[in-house]
Amino acid sequence: MIRTEHVRYEYERLDENGDPAGVMTALDDVSFSVSEGEYIAILGRNGSGKSTLAKHINALLCPTGGTVWVLGMDTAKEENLWPVREAAGMVFQNPDNQIIATVVEEDVGFGPENIGVPTDEIWKRVAESLEAVGMTAFADVSPMRLSGGQKQRVAIAGILAMRPDIMLFDEATAMLDPRGRKEVFETVRELNREGMTVVWITHVMEEAAQCETVHIMHDGGLVLSGTPQEVFSDRERLQNWRLDVPPMAALAQRLRAAGVGLPEGILSIDDMTREVEALAAHL
Ligand code: ADP
Ligand code: MG
């Protein structure tokens, strides 16, 4: 579905007078792939290159070196630019920057209208998309009256109405309160269950821990890929990239060191609850 081979990207750097001052290598030899229906996390601290990589997947940026294929289309080819942008929809951090219209349903219909979808079909898509994110009841409300989590769900509906094959989320929960985060995360998980391919970019360990595959970026390179269990098994290794294991994994590790019989692989509060209950059943 997505494949990158030896991708390199250099930003032009400008000096204080606005003159070219060399280049900044933001991606360095990144190769990875995402299969249809997969739910991957791209995890890394600030400045590691996550957003730059995401922008390559929907052809907002074109690699300086190497190749990016989306649905078999080479993103460097001019004729693939718009098909790739339509295939891979991106949801950004700030919901307020993504909402344009003054009524929710108009906002969701904006994308398809822009690409010339017939009116009947637009309304059908708007209804389906709002349903998919659980926002049907807010169709005729002003987006200004919504919470951050609700606005972000409207932004997701707006992308869904474009019928993408892939959805990219670039720190899409970073500006939300815990409840909004949960709302959005669960909405996306449901979309994935129904078959959507999801690329979830985050610097939050707990979020990455809930994805199928985790790719860790550091200084523009992809340094580790694996299941959450594999990636979060070695705390010292993660600290090389200034990342930590999810809080529940750290707690489980401390408890194990203190002699509590907890298994490896605990990553979430749900895992911890289940294992502690299993222990308690033997007391
Ligand atoms: P992340 O999303 O992981 O925080 P980014 O992809 O935004 O990382 O940035 C990767 C590197 O590229 C950083 O060092 C950043 O400063 C640099 N960078 C990002 N955008 C630009 C830009 N428009 N011009 C120059 N350098 C940039
Ligand atoms: Mg970023």
Query: Which of the four pLDDT bands, split at 50, 70 and 90, describes residue 244?
Result: confident
> Residues with Cβ within 6 A of ligand 1?
11, 24, 26, 44, 46-52
Ligand at minimal distance from the CA of 42 is 1
Give the residue, out of 8, 23, 24, with the most ligand 1 atoms within 8 A of its beta carbon, to mutate for a pocket test.
24
What average pLDDT does range 167-195 have in this prediction?
92
Residue 107 in any domain: the answer is yes
Per-residue pLDDT, 97: 85
Domain of 35, CATH number, reads 3.40.50.300
Per-residue pLDDT, 143: 92
Per-residue pLDDT, 233: 86
Residue 266 in any domain: the answer is no
What average pLDDT does range 159-180 have in this prediction?
93
pLDDT at 99 over 90: no
Q: How far apart are CA 99 and CA 103, in angstroms?
A: 10
Which atom of ligand 1 lies nearest, measured to the CA of 46? 4
Residue 208 in any domain: the answer is yes
pLDDT in tens, 119-150: 999 999 999 999 999 999 999 999 999 999 99
Give the residue, out of 11, 215, 218, 222, with the most ligand 1 atoms within 8 A of its beta carbon, to mutate for a pocket test.
11
Per-residue pLDDT, 113: 93
The residues placing their C-beta within 5 Å of ligand 2, an ion, are 50-51
Residue 45 in any domain: the answer is yes
H or E, element range at 16: none
Residue 212 in any domain: the answer is yes
pLDDT in tens, 7-18: 999 999 888 888
Per-residue pLDDT, 153: 93
Residue numbers of the domain that contains 199: 2-228
Least trusted range by pLDDT, from 65-74, 196-205, 260-269:
260-269
What average pLDDT does range 199-206 have in this prediction?
92
Per-residue pLDDT, 82: 92
Residue 88 in any domain: the answer is yes
In the chain, the number of structural domains is 1
Shortest-distance Cα residue to atom 6 of ligand 1: 49
Ligand 1: centre distance to CA 3 (Å): 21
Integer angstrom CA distances of residue 258 from 18, 255, 261, 263: 58, 5, 9, 13
Shortest-distance Cα residue to atom 15 of ligand 1: 47
Residue 250 in any domain: the answer is no
